[in-house]
């Protein structure tokens, strides 16, 4: 638990005795090694916590004593939500190529942070046992896993007896055509391609390798009169949603970014994805990253990907071959069933409801809401309306929408 811990009084007394014993051992270690400041800091902190536990049955940061409160051995596996599920539960891991490395990295990140606190006397060594599971412990508890990804990682491929491919789209949409062009003259060529899309009322995504290149390209495109926005990691949730919405409704024709154009960005209006410096091998130009980036153009019937590169790397070749393989399978299905690919038609408010909630709150359908112009009272009304929508979404079990609204509410409260 993040803040509270429930246990019986007998267990609490036993835990407090064990904490006292560990404290004495750690104080002796610090004093023997002439770490007097650390010893004083630890003793002051821990004795205060023990007093609070004795008087109130609780102390701030009680989760750091969870090993003692559950009477576990040092280094033993902590209890997690997984322990509450029956033996035959199923875990569905979405975007598994990203999620699994995060599960693997959680333990190391947590230990690195807490070890510093222990070394400097802010916490007892037992705090290290209030931790995420190691990947091996996670594997032991997870008996049935379903990995979902357009680009499965090595772990999923090694541990899957038979991979099930779901390539056929009911809409008949094909994966985009991929073209590789030389780097020389790439910006002029890019501008020509963007103009062609603008004439057809379609949108373009451009992915670069560095923040500086994104900024420079955005500035240059603005100078020549293009409607362009720059999407980067420092943009807050609310702004990000509004930028994507503005792209869809035509306020922008081009979106420039680095790594934000990959998983889960569903914009049917995008018919062109441009990858600059596609031949610079690395994480952002790996086979998986390239396939994910290309997939942003797969929602449009005339989807196309242009890679600017002077050579074809192994990652590029694999990504292009895989995209072509998927195209052939879909095309054969379309011919067999007489399907004509059609771009997904999706109302903007279906994708992003949150900004609409804010607009409705002001009862002025003609005016687009500008949050910076609101008074405190108006902002409070917007937040209240959003909170109602959030609770309603949770009641309807629409947790994705509820979580999105929750993030927006927290952001608005912080800004207010």
Residue range 106-152, pLDDT digits in tens: 999 999 999 999 999 999 999 999 999 999 999 999 989 999 998 89
Give me the phi and psi of 234, to 5 degrees please: -85, -10
Over the stretch 331-353, which tens digit does the pLDDT of each residue have? 999 999 999 988 877 777 544 45
* pLDDT reported for residue 397: 85
Domain boundaries of the chain, sorted by first residue:
9-159, 177-337, 373-415
Torsion on CA atoms 109, 111, 114, 118, rounded to nearest 10:
-150
Residues 198-236, buried b or exposed e (16+ Cβ, 10 A)?
A: beeebbbbbbbbeeeebeebbeebeeeebbbbbbeeebe
Residue pair 333/168 in contact (Cβ under 8 Å)? The answer is yes
The reply to whether 177-337 shares the fold of 9-159 is yes
User: Is a pLDDT exceeding 80 seen at residue 2?
Assistant: no
Per cent of the chain over pLDDT 90 is 48
Highest mean predicted confidence (pLDDT) among 101-115, 239-253, 371-385 = 101-115
User: Is a pLDDT exceeding 70 seen at residue 185?
Assistant: yes
Q: Which fold has domain 9-159?
A: Rossmann fold (3.40.50)
Residue pair 178/316 in contact (Cβ under 8 Å)? The answer is no
| 159 vs 411, residue with greater confidence | 159
* pLDDT reported for residue 211: 87
Give me the phi and psi of 308, to 5 degrees please: -100, 115
- 20's CB contacts (< 8 A; 6+ apart) are 50
Contacts of residues 248-252 at CB distance under 8 Å and 24 or more positions apart, as own/partner, are: 248/203, 248/348, 248/351, 249/348, 250/201, 251/227, 252/203, 252/227, 252/228
What average pLDDT does the segment 220-242 reach? Answer: 84
pLDDT tier at 244 (50, 70, 90 boundaries)?
A: confident
Q: Which of the residue ranges 31-35, 243-247, 261-265, 342-346 would you say has the lowest mean pLDDT?
A: 261-265
Mean pLDDT of the chain: 86
> Distance from CA of residue 204 to its chain's centroid?
23
pLDDT tier at 14 (50, 70, 90 boundaries)?
A: very high
Q: For 149-200, give the secondary structure using H, E and C.
A: CCCCCHHHHHHCCCCCCCCCCCCCCCCCEEEEECCCCHHHHHHHHHHHHHHC
| 400 vs 50, residue with greater confidence | 50
Highest mean predicted confidence (pLDDT) among 37-51, 64-78, 393-407 = 37-51
Question: How far is it, in rounded angstroms, from Cα 148 to Cα 361?
Answer: 38
Q: Which of the residue ranges 122-126, 282-286, 322-326, 342-346 would you say has the lowest mean pLDDT?
A: 342-346
Q: Find the helix or strand (DSSP H, E) in which 144 lies.
A: strand 144-148
Give, in order, the Cα–Cα distances in Å from 70 to each of 65, 138, 200, 307: 9, 20, 64, 56
Residue pair 208/250 in contact (Cβ under 8 Å)? The answer is no
Question: How far is it, in rounded angstroms, from Cα 299 to Cα 174?
Answer: 8
Question: How far is it, in rounded angstroms, from Cα 355 to Cα 361?
Answer: 10
CATH class of 177-337: alpha beta
Question: How far is it, in rounded angstroms, from Cα 331 to Cα 169?
Answer: 10
* pLDDT reported for residue 352: 47
Q: Which of the residue ranges 14-18, 86-90, 103-107, 347-351 would you say has the lowest mean pLDDT?
A: 347-351
User: Is a pLDDT exceeding 50 seen at residue 367?
Assistant: no
User: Is a pLDDT exceeding 50 seen at residue 90?
Assistant: yes
Q: Describe the crossing of helices 354-361 and 376-395 by its angle, rounded to 10 degrees.
A: 130
Question: How far is it, in rounded angstroms, from Cα 15 to Cα 27?
Answer: 18
Over the stretch 189-226, which tens digit does the pLDDT of each residue have? 999 999 999 999 999 999 998 888 998 999 999 998 89
Question: How far is it, in rounded angstroms, from Cα 310 to Cα 395?
Answer: 54
What average pLDDT does the segment 228-239 reach? Answer: 81
């Amino acid at each position: 638990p993040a803040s509270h811990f429930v246990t019986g009084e007998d267990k609490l007394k036993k835990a407090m005795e064990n904490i006292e014993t560990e404290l004495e051992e750690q104080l002796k270690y610090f004093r023997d090694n002439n770490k007097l400041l650390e010893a004083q800091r630890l003793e002051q902190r821990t004795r205060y916590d023990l007093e609070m536990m004795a008087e109130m049955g609780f102390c701030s940061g009680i989760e750091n004593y969870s090993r003692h409160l559950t009477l576990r051995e040092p280094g033993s596996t902590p209890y997690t939500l997984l322990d509450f599920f029956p033996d035959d539960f199923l875990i569905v891991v979405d975007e598994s190529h990203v999620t699994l490395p995060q599960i693997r990295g959680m333990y190391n990140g947590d230990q690195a942070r807490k070890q510093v606190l222990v070394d400097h006397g802010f916490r007892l060594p037992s705090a290290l046992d209030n931790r995420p599971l190691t990947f091996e412990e996670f594997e032991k508890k997870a008996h049935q896993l379903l990995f979902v990804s357009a680009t499965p990682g090595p772990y999923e491929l090694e541990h899957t007896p038979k991979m099930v491919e779901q390539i056929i789209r009911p809409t008949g949409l094909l994966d985009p055509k991929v073209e590789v062009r030389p780097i020389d003259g790439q910006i002029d060529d890019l501008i020509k391609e963007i103009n062609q899309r603008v004439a057809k009322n379609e949108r373009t995504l451009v992915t670069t390798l560095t923040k500086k290149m994104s900024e420079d390209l955005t500035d240059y495109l603005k100078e020549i009169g293009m409607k362009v926005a720059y999407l980067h990691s420092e943009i807050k949730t609310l702004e990000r949603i509004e930028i994507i919405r503005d792209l869809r409704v035509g306020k922008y024709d081009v979106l420039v970014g680095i790594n934000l154009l990959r998983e889960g960005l569903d914009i049917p209006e995008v018919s062109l994805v441009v990858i600059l410096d596609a031949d610079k091998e690395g994480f952002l130009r790996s086979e998986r990253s390239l396939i994910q980036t290309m997939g942003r153009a797969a929602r449009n019937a005339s989807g196309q990907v242009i890679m600017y590169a002077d050579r074809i790397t192994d990652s590029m070749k694999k990504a292009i071959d895989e995209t072509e393989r998927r195209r052939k399978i879909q095309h054969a299905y379309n011919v067999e069933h007489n399907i004509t690919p059609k771009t997904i038609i999706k109302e903007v408010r279906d994708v992003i409801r949150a900004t609409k909630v804010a607009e409705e709150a002001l009862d002025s359908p003609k005016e687009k809401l500008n949050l910076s112009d609101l008074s405190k009272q108006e902002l409070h009304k917007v937040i209240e309306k959003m909170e109602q929508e959030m609770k309603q979404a949770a009641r309807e079990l629409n947790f994705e929408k509820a979580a999105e609204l929750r993030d927006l509410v927290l952001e608005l409260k912080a800004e207010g």
